[in-house]
Structure 1
Amino acid sequence: MKSVLALLQFCTSLPLGKPVDFEHFAHRSYLYPLAGYVIGGIAAGITYWIASPPVGAAVALATALLLSGCNHFDGLLDFGDGLMAHGSREKRIAAMTDRTTGAGAVAAGIIVTLLAFAGLQTAANLPATILIAEVCAKVAMSWLTTLGTPFREGIHSYLHGFAKPWFLVPTFLLALPLFLLPVPQVTIALALAATAVIAALMLALARRLFSGVNGDVVGAANEIVRAGIILLLVLP
């Protein structure tokens, strides 16, 4: 339970009492999907009572962002700056890790948010869609934490130091309850497959541009996977 509590204190802004030693979660980063169930479940529960698709989509995204403390969204902005920077690898890393917000950050934030919002508006089952997307986003975070070789010291390198290759398996198993949702099972399977593909692409891109992964890349993966899975779920 301490591992789960440490996970939720790290991934959410929920008032969960006295901070638990972060190392409890660091040893079990395969638990990431549980945070997806909590954040996505709360967002789904709220939007279940909203009849208007645009309002429901906006509230779902706002809930996910606020419950996560916008930490992963901040990673997306930093990743956008690094992605759009010109020049050497060192310049890209500097652009991603400095404290300024450039055009790349703004563009990344707008594009990913717009895609997710547009997709949620057309979802036949908005509560299930946001829940599936949020869990898949956390699956991607866990996989990048396990597989992403760090290029600098930080929270990612700390988590990666405890991660083991077999963490990939329990992370996937924790996503299997999604098959109990009132959604075609083939759709859930496609969502998990797409999560693996996006995570692999993010990993390859990070290695090419930055020579590795940091917390910004992992956070960006959360936002990008969420939007990607939402779009996949609403495709005819």
Structure 2
Amino acid sequence: MRPVLSLLQFTTLLPVGKPLDFDLFARHSWIFPIAGYVIALLVAIPVFFIRDTVLAAAVAVAGVILLSGAHHFDGLLDLGDGLMAQGDREKRTRALTDRCVGAGGIAAGIVVTLLLFAGLHAATSLISALIIGEVAAKFSMAFLTTYGAPFKEGMHSYLHRFSKPWFPFLSLLLCIPLVLLPVSPFRLAVAALMMILCPVVLLTISERIFGGVNGDVVGASNEITRALVVVALALV
């Protein structure tokens, strides 16, 4: 349980006791999807009692962002700035790591949030889509933590140092309980495909543009993967 508590201290604002050694989680980063289940189920509690689907979707979006302390959302804004920056790799990397948020970051935040909201609103089962999207988002973080070679020292490079090549496969096993949700196998297959495709594409883009991955890219993958998985579930 100690690695799980360390994970929740890293990914959420939950009051789960005194701070634990971060190494407890760093050595077991494949457990990322567990945080997805915890966050989604906690957000699903108030959403379950809201009849209006528009309001329910809005509360769900607000819940997953706020419960995580907007930590990963901040990574999305930074990635948006890096992708929109004009110039060579050095200028793009500087925009990615700069603490200031520019137009690219604002645009990325608006677009991804709108997609998530629309996907949840259109979903046949909002709560199921919420759970699948959040768990898939955490899988993408485990994937990039393992396979995303860092281009600078930081939180990501520290986690990457402890990662093993098989960690994402263990993370994938943690996603298996999603089959218990009232969602058709075809929709789950599409969600699984998107869950893997998103971090792979983001890894390819980041290596080409920035020369690697940092914590902002990993955090952004959480937000992007969640939104696109939910949208995919709504479309099929």
TM range (shorter): over 0.9
Number of residue pairs aligned between Structure 1 and Structure 2 = 236
Report Cα offsets for 1:29-67 as digits up to 9, x if no partner: 000000000011112222111111110000001110011
Matched, 1:165 2:161: no
Structure 1 residue 120: deviation in Å?
A: 1.0
Same amino acid, percent of matched pairs = 54
What is the letter of the counterpart of residue 19 of structure 1? P
Match of 1:207 in 2: 207
What is the letter of the counterpart of residue 67 of structure 1? L
What is the letter of the counterpart of residue 189 of structure 1? A
Q: For the residues of structure 2 that align with 1:115 and 1:129, how far apart are their CA atoms?
A: 13
Q: For the residues of structure 2 that align with 1:64 and 1:81, how far apart are their CA atoms?
A: 22
Q: For the residues of structure 2 that align with 1:168 and 1:47, how far apart are their CA atoms?
A: 30
Structure 1 residue 187: deviation in Å?
A: 1.3
Match of 1:110 in 2: 110
Secondary structure, counterpart of 1:165 in structure 2: coil
Structure 1 alignment gaps of length 5 or more: none
Report Cα offsets for 1:173-216 as digits up to 9, x if no partner: 00000001111122112211111111100000000010000000
Structure 1 residue 118: deviation in Å?
A: 1.1
Structure 2 alignment gaps of length 5 or more: none
Q: For the residues of structure 2 that align with 1:89 and 1:218, how far apart are their CA atoms?
A: 18
Match of 1:131 in 2: 131
Matched, 1:83 2:66: no
TM-score normalised by structure 1 residue count? 0.99
What is the letter of the counterpart of residue 21 of structure 1? D
Match of 2:100 in 1: 100
Q: After TM superposition, which residue ranges in structure 1, 4 or more long, deviate above 2 angstroms?
A: none
Q: For the residues of structure 1 that align with 2:119 and 2:164, how far apart are their CA atoms?
A: 35
Structure 1 residue 17: deviation in Å?
A: 1.3
Provide the alpha-carbon RMSD of the alignment.
0.7
